[in-house]
Every structure is written in C-alpha cells, then in structure tokens.
Amino acid sequence: MTAATRVPHPADADDGQDTGRGAERDLPGRTTLADRVVERTAAQALTEIADVGGTAHRILGDTLSGPPEERSAQVSASVDDTTAALNVRLSIAYPASVASTTHQVRSHLTRRLPELTGLVVTRVDITVTALYLAQPGSGRVR
C-alpha cells in the first residue's frame, strides 16, 4: 500500500553551513498511495484508449448513468509497497477486436500507471462486460 520515494528536503541544499540535521539527510521519504487513488488513476488512464467504455451499472434491471462509452471503466487495485495488481471491468466498442483491445489495455496500464504513480503493475485482469455499438444509430435498416 506504499511506494517508497526520495523526497528532497530543504536542508539537502549544500550551502556550506552545518545545520545539525545530518542524520535526517540520509532518511528516505515515503509516499503512501491508497488503493482508491490507484483505482481512480487507472480508470482515468483507460479513457486515453479508443474503443474502451465503462460497465453498465444496474439496479433491478435498469441501466443507470447513460451508455457504456460515456462511463468510466471499473478498476479495483491491490497495492503492496511498490507494486499494484489491477482488476478491470470494461466494455468494448463493436466491431473492435476484443483480443487486441484487451492487449492494448494491459500494455497501456503497465506503461502509464508507473509514470503517474511510481508503482510497478504486476498483473492486469480484465473482464469485458459488454460490447456496444461504436456509432449509435448505425444499425441495420429493415
């Protein structure tokens, strides 16, 4: 649940004066990221990928919050020190390839999340909950 990083301290600047803080100079800082922060960051990173939409939120059979392409994907994260494992639930635009889109999602998250959070992504499990029409209204004419 934490990621270790070195946080510079103002006393680290070498101005030639001894401030008596020599012991503190060698202590590394620690940045702690909650699982929810990583989940939201990953969900936002998924919006950068074409043909990926969110999951349907249902209550007693009623779909809430509009079409899948307008919602964000659901991500749950398990953060342990400097690593994160992700479970992603999303929808894919039809007729995009499910295999290539999920491969693109995995590649994007394993590259983008370390840039944004400093955590190494060790696993990305993906559940495709639905396919949606990429362009509404492009159905068959009878």
Q: In this predicted structure, what is the pLDDT of residue 64?
A: 45
How far is residue 48 from each of residues 20, 36, 53, 85, measured CA to CA in Å? 48, 19, 11, 20
Q: Is the pTM of this model over 0.85?
A: no
Read off the pLDDT band of 140 (50, 70, 90).
low
Q: In this predicted structure, what is the pLDDT of residue 63?
A: 47
Domain spanning 33-133: which CATH class is it, in words?
Answer: alpha beta
Find, among 65, 69, 73, the residue nearest to 43 by Cα. Answer: 73
Q: In this predicted structure, what is the pLDDT of residue 43?
A: 95
pLDDT tens-digit series, residues 4-22 = 554 454 555 555 555 555 5
- 141 or 102: whose pLDDT is higher? 102
pLDDT tens-digit series, residues 111-136 = 999 999 999 999 999 999 999 887 65
pLDDT tens-digit series, residues 41-91 = 999 999 999 999 887 655 444 444 455 556 789 999 999 989 999 999 999
Q: In this predicted structure, what is the pLDDT of residue 19?
A: 53
Residue 81 dihedral angles phi and psi, to the nearest 5°: 55, -100
Q: In this predicted structure, what is the pLDDT of residue 91?
A: 94
Tell me the two tokens of residue 17: 């004066």
Listed by start position, the domains of the chain span 33-133
| Cα distance between residue 42 and residue 38, in whole Å | 6
